[in-house]
Chains A and B, each alone.
Chain A
Amino acid sequence: MGQVFETHNVAAHDQVLKAVDLSVSFQSGNSNAVAVDHVSFGVARGEMLALVGESGCGKSTAALALLGLLRSPPARVEGRILLAGRSILGLPPADLQQIRGKSIAMIFQQPMTSLNPVLTIERQLTESTMAHESITRSEAISRARDALELVGISSPETRLRQYPHQLSGGMRQRVMIAMAMACRPSVLVADEPTTALDVTMQAQILSLIKGLKRDFGVATILITHDLGVVAENADRVAVMYAGRIVEQAGTSELFRAPAHPYTRGLIAAVPRLDGVPIGSAQTRRLQEIPGSVPQAGPSVPGCPFAPRCPLASDRCRSMRPMEVAIAPEHLVSCWEYAA
């Protein structure tokens, strides 16, 4: 350990979307809350990157920042966001509009409230294609029909005429995905797409998203708090804690050899179906991470996990650990691994 590897990775060169040193802070009165604190990540064509973390760790804020969907002020976004090599942070609103929904599409956590209740499915499906491409209304409708079939909705003709409240939760999330895929984006950002759904529906929706990734090569960023979902779907994982990425690695590597104390604690804390030991329930204690998840506030000088970390030293509390590669494509921000 401690040896620094050269980060030479093939994927890094053709990453479709890259965030470099991305920071988001919210100014309110005299207080400044840092939600995302100098994070860098990227996703390549046909790859699924999972941004995983607990509530308030900044994963959703980072996603909204990618699409320029944060209202500014109060939000302040700094760093660089590169789409196919082109910097898109700070573009004028009109240019951003052309990117949103066309090159980068997003689906949200709450399918029940994310669709407009008073517009038909047809209207909501056709408006993005019509906004981004010069096609006629009837072409847009036939594209909408195809999109519904793509996401596994039967009798699309009927569905197009319906309103969101006439569809079930799972069906609505499928419509959201159809909407996102309508312009064949190169990047799909899925913010907790299955958190509001039941497990059986979750499995269906995730396998749908994985299929789209495979068939269309869409670079996917999956935001979730569920390590099980990460393990079964993502190609690479970035673990976030208190606005920072503490560890980044290929999924298999991360679960096999978690390096950051937080990642290790998190993986150990999850109840597992396959790890159920025989015996009475009382013997099955879960691993705990002591303490509680910190509230968003000003950026801390040291490692944000230090107060809960069993290995924390004075250096952890006072100096920000730098990101080191402990294996190819395995980056950790922890003083344990610094040379």
Chain B
Amino acid sequence: MAKFLSRYFNAVFGLSILVVIGLVALFAPHIAPYEADRIFAGPRLSPPSAAYPFGTDALGRDMFSRVVHGARLTAYVGTIALVIGLGAGAVVGLAAGYSRTWLRGFLMRVIDLLYSFPGLLIALALVAFIGPSLENAMIAVGISTIPFFARVTYSVVIVERAKPYFDSGRVIGAGSLRLMVFYLLPNVLPALIVVGSLGFSTAILAAAGLSFLGLGAQPPAPEWGALLADGRSYMTNAPWLMIFPGLSIFLVVLAFNLVGDAMSEHFDPRQRWKR
């Protein structure tokens, strides 16, 4: 057990953070002492204390309650963005990798073009045109990660497709659908789970960044990036307004990165100990 813990320390550490934050998001109303936007729940700009563990903001809102409620938004944003990005990306990547016609060339050229572009920039541009809001931000972030997921799926698919077991499926007469669903997909899945975990953290980071720039969640939503932006004006006299939301983002992202790393080490035989 001790050996297991030391070997998988990072993964266990990451998973524990995720479990805690997941529970917080799930039971937010029961954990938070106040509603998220309850004004004058306490004195204005009071530093962290027993009554207000994360302090209060300029309107006397309890930061702890706001951060706890923000966990729900973060889970929401990350999930939706991931579903859009991973879902569409996997379909496009699978299609491009499986196809041997003009479709492959076309899809890959488009993906490569978009992939060389920073995801955040794509998300920024999308938000600029569809307007700033939390929903738009997560849609934009989701769309902006499609090229990444498509690229990863594609590169795994073409490796798997070149292996003899794929040909052996063709030789026994398996059709396209069967080859894709029973041959390629299960063998691509481990890689997708790994990048999915890393993608979750990217999405959260990007969405928080958009909110921080005022292009995502709008006040008074207690989204962590927005809380940070809010707290900026009181940077010197009330630093706790920035420390706690930022720390929360950091911990969630860290947790997903740790879990993703552990999984990629587990799934990638090259990374495993070899003699």
Residues on A lying within 8 angstroms of B by beta carbon are 26, 28-29, 74-75
Contacts and interface: CB of A to CB of B under 8 A. Distances in A.
Contact of B3 (A26, A29, A75): A29
Contacts, number: 7
Contacts of A28: 273, 275
A26 B275 CA distance: 8
Nearest to B7: A29
Contacts of B273: 28, 74
- Chain B binding surface, main DSSP class: loop
Contacts of B3: 29
Interface in B109-135: none
A75 B3 CA distance: 20
The 7 A-B pairs at the shortest CB distance, nearest first, are namely: A26-B275, A74-B275, A28-B273, A75-B275, A29-B3, A74-B273, A28-B275
A28 B272 CA distance: 12
Interface of B: 3, 273, 275
A23 to B, nearest CB: 15
A197 B275 CA distance: 25
B260 to A, nearest CB: 24
A28 B274 CA distance: 10
B142 to A, nearest CB: 40
A61 to B, nearest CB: 9
Nearest to A26: B275
Contacts of B275: 26, 28, 74-75
A75 B275 CA distance: 8
A33 to B, nearest CB: 8
A28 B3 CA distance: 12
A297 to B, nearest CB: 13
Nearest to B275: A26
A234 B275 CA distance: 29
B208 to A, nearest CB: 41
A74 B272 CA distance: 13
7 contacts: A26-B275, A28-B273, A28-B275, A29-B3, A74-B273, A74-B275, A75-B275
Nearest to A35: B275
Nearest to A29: B3
A28 B275 CA distance: 9
